[in-house]
Amino acid sequence: MRDKSYLATLFDYNAWANEVFYEKVSELPPEEITKKRKTPLESIFVSLHHLLNVDNMWLAHMRGEKHDYEGLRVVRIEDFDELRAARKEMDRTLADYVASLSPEDLEEIVDYELIGGNTGAMSRAMCLTHLVTHGSYHRGWIADMFGQAGVMQPTADIPVYERALRETGKPPMPV
């Protein structure tokens, strides 16, 4: 894949969806955010960390660097507002990273090693696509935890994003 504008749009959407979720999470009672639930990532708070952590891990892979994460449930930021700020910063970092890439960079094969030791290789474009789909996947888990808390979950799929763009007068997604 050589279409950087498509990937940039996906990351714009992803940042928007992250903010929609953080806004809704911020409205929950604190005990609902950290409550342990029957889900592999334990809580909304840990799930939000997981998304940030995985973005950090894959960014390191794409930059040819090592990361120091040893588990999927690592919590490095205890304060919700600080976590939200770190999320916003990561979304800016990823958007800037995508903007910096050439078509050749997108096609370059990136070697990676997952936390469990499994290794593989994908194009940088597929690594980036994975980050967006991974975010959507786990926001779905978080939405389920809203239901467990008896609260209406955020709605943040692409058609809702497209409508939000129109309603705020922002440019539409590319064709």
Written in H, E and C, the secondary structure of 23-78 is HHHHCCCHHHHHCCCCCCCCCHHHHHHHHHHHHHHHHHHHCCCCCCCCCCCCCCCC
Element housing 123 (H / E): strand 119-123
**Cα 118 → chain centroid:** 21
Q: What phi and psi values does residue 5 have, to the nearest 5 degrees?
A: -65, -35
Cα 89 to chain centroid distance, Å, stands at 12
Look at the pTM and tell me if it is higher than 0.85.
yes
Q: Residue 175: inside a domain, yes or no?
A: no
What pLDDT does residue 173 have? Answer: 85
**Is there a domain that residue 65 lies in?**
yes
Question: pLDDT tens track of the chain, all 175 residues?
Answer: 678 999 999 999 999 999 999 999 999 999 999 999 989 999 999 999 999 999 999 999 999 999 999 988 899 999 999 999 999 999 999 999 999 999 999 999 999 999 988 999 999 999 999 999 999 999 999 999 999 999 999 999 999 999 999 999 888 887 6
Residue 74 falls within a domain, yes or no? yes
- The answer to whether residue 87 is domain-embedded is yes
Q: Identify the pLDDT of residue 90.
A: 98
The per-residue pLDDT for 107 is 96
Q: Domain holding 32: CATH number?
A: 1.20.120.450
Q: Which tokens go with 77?
A: 């930021």
Angle, CA of 84, 87 and 88, to the nearest 5°: 90
Q: Identify the pLDDT of residue 175.
A: 66
Please enumerate in sequence order all residues whose Cβ is within 8 A of that of 174, keeping only pairs 6 or more positions apart, or say none: 5, 6, 9
DSSP letter assigned to residue 119: E
The residue segments making up the domain with residue 59 are: 4-156
User: Does residue 168 sit within a domain?
Assistant: no
Q: Is residue 166 part of a domain?
A: no
Q: In this predicted structure, what is the pLDDT of residue 1?
A: 66
Q: Which residues, in sequence order, are bridge partners of residue 121?
A: 111
Token couple for 152 = 């209406």
- The verdict on residue 172 lying in a domain is no
For the chain, the domain total comes to: 1
- Overall size of the chain counted in residues: 175
* 170 located within any domain: no
> Which phi and psi angles does 111 have, rounded to 5°?
-85, 145
| CA dist., res. 90 & res. 71, Å (int) | 19
